[in-house]
Structure 1
Amino acid sequence: MTREEKIPVVAVFDVGKTNKKLFLFDENYRVVFERSARFTETVDEDGDPCENLDSLRLSIFDSLREVFAHPKFEIKAINFTSYGASLVYINENGTPLTPLQNYLKSYPKALKDEFYKKYGGEELFAAKTASPVLESLNSGMQFYRLKNEKPDVFKQVKYALHLPQYLSFLISGKAYSDKTSLGCHTNFWDFEKDDYHAWLTEEGMVEKMAPIMPFNHVSPAAFPGSSYSVGIGLHDSSAALTPYLISFKEPFVLLSTGTWCISLNPFNQQILTPNELNQDVLCYMQYEGKAVKASRLFSGFAYEQQTKRIAAHFNCDVLLFRNVAYKQELVKSLNTENLTTENWRSLPFEKRNLNEFENEIVAYYQLMVDLVLQQYHSTKLVLKGTSAKRIFVDGGFSKNAVFMNLLATVFPNYEVYAAHMPQATAIGAALVIHNVWNTKRLPNDIIDLKLYTPTINKN
């Protein structure tokens, strides 16, 4: 096969906590190649579990070698998307100085208290940075800890890179920062100033942050003779939102469902209030640098745990719940007591006695009612004060007929759609560098929508 006959493609590395994937997309954004890997975690210097950075680096190079040797494809560009709440500290030679710290790692209380006392208190600081107090999940706190606990290592840091930008650095040799990572509950970004928060200057950290580049910036590959372009990488939540922003101009909210159910409103740039911060509302940054108000629930995890509990109690297979049909009459008989209560963040089903339910399907329906009523409150937090009238749901719950019908019922004044777009996160990372590698126009048909309408009154 000659070079002219090869299919022009973009390669996207989509690096999650569990699965690390490589996709090749053709110019119509169809997946033409996919490779997936999972690594065993290693431990950091304290013995806490963390990402195996060496395995990840080797896997990326191995994957690229495979696709570059493939006779069918011509790689025109590469981009990256991954979780963003972890930092890679590189020295002058580009070598990581520490293991990649897990964002769930416990944080020293004394150091946390010292930081917030020094910089205006938790409430004021969180409002300015749109970052609830999340300890290690605020990546800026990881950097502050490094400076205080390991000053000798801190001195050697040339740049602190979020993971997507480190992955880009591996291929381009260029160290850059990206707003979608900097603006994601990091404690780094002052949303009022649209710049780094002053504490980084005071702590001597600003000079250790790589230059900020726009979302569509590309660099040549570091390897001689290479002709492909390398993007700077995107935070995964921002990448998943990108196809919707490109496809739809009228205001909307995206409910991205998985382990976390995150309501993202890219049309809400209002400053976070203390009340919102206390309810786990935060801001992400979309690819063009604008704030995205977001609220989070751990619903996917709760769903998994509670369906296992139901299956164990009724001695049935948990797979039974994958395709439960929606029955309106069944919903009317169930308990909706938490719709207007103040403690909506607690899932009632966790305390429900399963002996009260006639069978596993009735119990399952009650679980779904409880989850959707929680979701109603969570999503309402980001809808407030905006003109958005459409809710797009993607991810696992978008395929759940019970969840989708109930969600449409609790939001009767909104158009509620199940959105289907395979590999939305990876496609988002490809779309932002579309003009670099793709000769065709931006697509307008990559998202399939299914409208759900209310079936019973919310109350």
Structure 2
Amino acid sequence: MAGLVVVIDIGKTHSKASLWTRDGQELARTRHSNRQAEANGYPCLDIDGIEAWLRSSLSDFARMGTVSAIIPIAHGAACAVVRGRELVAAPMDYEAKLPAEILDAYRVHRDAFSETGSPAMDRGLNLGAQLHALEARIPDLFAGNAVIVPWPQYWAWRLTGVAVSEVTSLGAHTDLWSPLGKTPSPMAVKRGWAQRLAPLRHAGDVVGTLLPEWSAATGLPAETQVHAGLHDSNAALMAARLHPEIRDRDAAIVSTGTWFVTMRSSGDVQPAFETLGSGGVVNVDVNGSPVPTLIFMGGREVEILCGDGIRIDDPQHDGAITAALRDCVSREAMILPTFVPGTGPFPKASGEWLNQPRNPVEKAATVALYAGLLTDLALNRVGARDTIMIDGRFARSKAFVSVLTCLQTGRPLYAANQDADLAIGALSLVSPTLSVQSALELVEADALNLSAYRGRWLEALGMIVEGAQTCD
């Protein structure tokens, strides 16, 4: 089989590679659990482990047909500094804590949210903070012809030796980009970082062909083309726009995984700079257009809250968890944010259980209610008006989806029933005529009335947020 496409999806927790025909048929998929590594004395991303797994995966794919294209997608808040074929600074792990003095010194330089659509975030979640820390650690960081390469484009560089950058990655709460002006931010220019960005290319552009070392190690053709690639949330947005239920609508997309990313796919974005609040960012799509977005670490919070117990995305317990929702609501079992401090709409609040159930099924149901309430708030903040689509891992959690239909009444809500949405979005850049048969399920509204429960949750939430501000 000829003309196949490989999509590389480097997530924060897991990495995936998938093999596709150009008309959207998935042929194979592999998966890797990412580990934390260290470089130059700081925690970095799993570049060596991912690369070893990728070589093995590409070798497997090479035996299945002729691969003609590769396109990478990856999470945000990561970049490498490279000089020619040399890696000068490995991508920092954004979850690593930066010293308070480094963050304080950096924040003096930041532009206003109205300029960048990028809020001041904890740890290294603003890419500018990472660059500030790296400059302090590596004095000759930008010596010679060194350039900044965002994380998706790192893999394009590693495969081809060609360094580029791309707007969806630069626009993902980096502090380095001005979405409305479609240019590097004033701070990035003043710090000299704008001048160090690798040449800007469109996500679908071919940046080069495979390096001989990769062709020899994997068996892929030397002429295999590698595309620039893009930020993973924007790949999800592209995939959503392929569905007839979403196309040409003022829709909101909720992409779920380690992060829950809620995006408004169209409409007037100017008010977003004033109404998004904490957890809000203004991302950009592949054409550089602003995308009002709210992010929180929903998947990570679910993992923390469920622990070793029943998970809300475990299909084996779907029915029991959904059935337990009503009892949890009547007993006012609740969870208040946040169990991942420094992120989301309430970054300074300390997570708390109210009336915590002992039954593991009811505990999972309360977690589903919590995830639904946070997502409902995110949808309201981005200005969701019409159709809603949920994709990713938690689109298959019937309890979570059921809660959301009860909260977002009067709007059609669709759940994607496949785990390939990011890859499909990336594939559409390589195959512009790609059309998808809808794999969306219209979710029927549940009879559960959550208006009073939501009111009590917001009331309790207001008290803890006020307390956090008082202690600040």
Q: Against the structure 1 CA distance between its residues 41 and 413, is the aligned structure 2 distance closer, same or farther, given a 3 Å change threshold? A: same
Corresponding residue for 1:438? Answer: none
Instruction: Give the distance between the partners of 1:19 and 1:207, measured in 2 at CA.
Output: 32
Instruction: Give the distance between the partners of 1:223 and 1:405, measured in 2 at CA.
Output: 48
Secondary structure at 1:24 match in 2: strand
User: Which entry has the higher C-alpha Rg, 1 or 2?
Assistant: 1
Q: Against the structure 1 CA distance between its residues 150 and 320, is the aligned structure 2 distance closer, same or farther, given a 3 Å change threshold? A: same
Q: Against the structure 1 CA distance between its residues 451 and 140, is the aligned structure 2 distance closer, same or farther, given a 3 Å change threshold? A: same
Aligned pairs (5 A) from 1:78-97:
78-91=70-83, 93-97=84-88
Query: Are residues 1:76 and 2:29 paired?
Result: no
Query: What per-residue deviation string (whole Å, max 9, x for no partner) do you get for residues 342-369 of structure 1?
Result: x9849999423446x6x44444433433
Corresponding residue for 2:340? Answer: none
Corresponding residue for 2:39? Answer: 44
Deviation at 1:161, TM superposition (A): 0.3
Instruction: Give the distance between the partners of 2:450 and 2:318, measured in 1 at CA.
Output: 25
Secondary structure at 2:142 match in 1: helix
| Residue type at the aligned position of 2:372 | V
Corresponding residue for 1:293? Answer: 292
Q: Against the structure 1 CA distance between its residues 169 and 280, is the aligned structure 2 distance closer, same or farther, given a 3 Å change threshold? A: same
Corresponding residue for 2:265? Answer: 266
Instruction: Give the distance between the partners of 1:223 and 1:354, measured in 2 at CA.
Output: 56
Corresponding residue for 2:353? Answer: 351
| Residue type at the aligned position of 1:351 | W
Deviation at 1:103, TM superposition (A): 1.0
Aligned pairs (5 A) from 1:7-26:
7-26=2-21
Instruction: Give the distance between the partners of 2:439 and 2:361, measured in 1 at CA.
Output: 32
Q: Against the structure 1 CA distance between its residues 416 and 90, is the aligned structure 2 distance closer, same or farther, given a 3 Å change threshold? A: same
Query: What per-residue deviation string (whole Å, max 9, x for no partner) do you get for residues 343-397 of structure 1?
Result: 9849999423446x6x44444433433332232222210126xxx3111111232
Query: What per-residue deviation string (whole Å, max 9, x for no partner) do you get for residues 194-248 of structure 1?
Result: 2001222222222211111122211340447733321101111111211112332
Instruction: Give the distance between the partners of 1:361 and 1:200, measured in 2 at CA.
Output: 49
**TM-score with structure 1 length normalisation?**
0.83
Aligned pairs (5 A) from 1:227-266:
227-247=223-243, 248-266=247-265
Give the conservation status (yes or no) of the 8 Å contact 1:261–1:299.
yes
| Residue type at the aligned position of 2:50 | L
Corresponding residue for 1:442? Answer: 434
Corresponding residue for 2:365? Answer: 365
Query: What per-residue deviation string (whole Å, max 9, x for no partner) do you get for residues 4-25 of structure 1?
Result: xx24310111112332222111
- Aligned with 2:401 (options 396, 404, 411): 404
Secondary structure at 1:22 match in 2: strand
Q: Against the structure 1 CA distance between its residues 348 and 372, is the aligned structure 2 distance closer, same or farther, given a 3 Å change threshold? A: farther
Query: What per-residue deviation string (whole Å, max 9, x for no partner) do you get for residues 111-159 of structure 1?
Result: 433333345xxxx523311111124111122223333442223224521
Query: Are residues 1:188 and 2:176 paired?
Result: yes
Deviation at 1:458, TM superposition (A): 3.9
- Aligned with 1:130 (options 117, 129, 143): 117
Instruction: Give the distance between the partners of 1:448 and 1:232, measured in 2 at CA.
Output: 29
Q: Against the structure 1 CA distance between its residues 326 and 348, is the aligned structure 2 distance closer, same or farther, given a 3 Å change threshold? A: farther
Instruction: Give the distance between the partners of 1:325 and 1:198, measured in 2 at CA.
Output: 49
Query: Are residues 1:219 and 2:207 paired?
Result: yes
Corresponding residue for 1:326? Answer: 322
Q: Gaps (5+ residues) in structure 1? A: 1-5, 313-317, 436-440
Instruction: Give the distance between the partners of 1:114 and 1:61, measured in 2 at CA.
Output: 40
Instruction: Give the distance between the partners of 1:378 and 1:288, measured in 2 at CA.
Output: 24
Q: Against the structure 1 CA distance between its residues 178 and 271, is the aligned structure 2 distance closer, same or farther, given a 3 Å change threshold? A: farther
| Residue type at the aligned position of 1:23 | S
Corresponding residue for 2:455? Answer: none
| Residue type at the aligned position of 2:117 | A
Corresponding residue for 2:443? Answer: 451
Give the conservation status (yes or no) of the 8 Å contact 1:418–1:452.
no
Deviation at 1:57, TM superposition (A): 3.3
Deviation at 1:331, TM superposition (A): 6.3
Deviation at 1:271, TM superposition (A): 5.2
Q: Against the structure 1 CA distance between its residues 170 and 184, is the aligned structure 2 distance closer, same or farther, given a 3 Å change threshold? A: same
Q: Against the structure 1 CA distance between its residues 125 and 140, is the aligned structure 2 distance closer, same or farther, given a 3 Å change threshold? A: same
Q: Against the structure 1 CA distance between its residues 324 and 256, is the aligned structure 2 distance closer, same or farther, given a 3 Å change threshold? A: farther
Secondary structure at 1:405 match in 2: helix
Secondary structure at 1:452 match in 2: coil
Deviation at 1:77, TM superposition (A): 1.0
Instruction: Give the distance between the partners of 1:11 and 1:76, measured in 2 at CA.
Output: 8
Secondary structure at 2:23 match in 1: coil
Secondary structure at 1:326 match in 2: helix
Secondary structure at 2:423 match in 1: helix
Give the conservation status (yes or no) of the 8 Å contact 1:417–1:452.
no
| Residue type at the aligned position of 2:175 | N
Query: Are residues 1:417 and 2:414 paired?
Result: yes
Give the conservation status (yes or no) of the 8 Å contact 1:421–1:446.
no
Deviation at 1:100, TM superposition (A): 2.4
Corresponding residue for 1:112? Answer: 103
| Residue type at the aligned position of 2:74 | S
Q: Against the structure 1 CA distance between its residues 241 and 373, is the aligned structure 2 distance closer, same or farther, given a 3 Å change threshold? A: same
Q: Against the structure 1 CA distance between its residues 89 and 406, is the aligned structure 2 distance closer, same or farther, given a 3 Å change threshold? A: same
Deviation at 1:187, TM superposition (A): 0.6
| Residue type at the aligned position of 1:94 | R
Instruction: Give the distance between the partners of 2:228 and 2:296, measured in 1 at CA.
Output: 29
Deviation at 1:275, TM superposition (A): 5.9
Instruction: Give the distance between the partners of 1:345 and 1:337, measured in 2 at CA.
Output: 16
Query: Are residues 1:165 and 2:153 paired?
Result: yes
Give the conservation status (yes or no) of the 8 Å contact 2:12–2:34.
no
Give the conservation status (yes or no) of the 8 Å contact 2:72–2:155.
yes
Give the conservation status (yes or no) of the 8 Å contact 2:236–2:421.
yes
| Residue type at the aligned position of 1:259 | T
Q: Percent identity?
A: 21
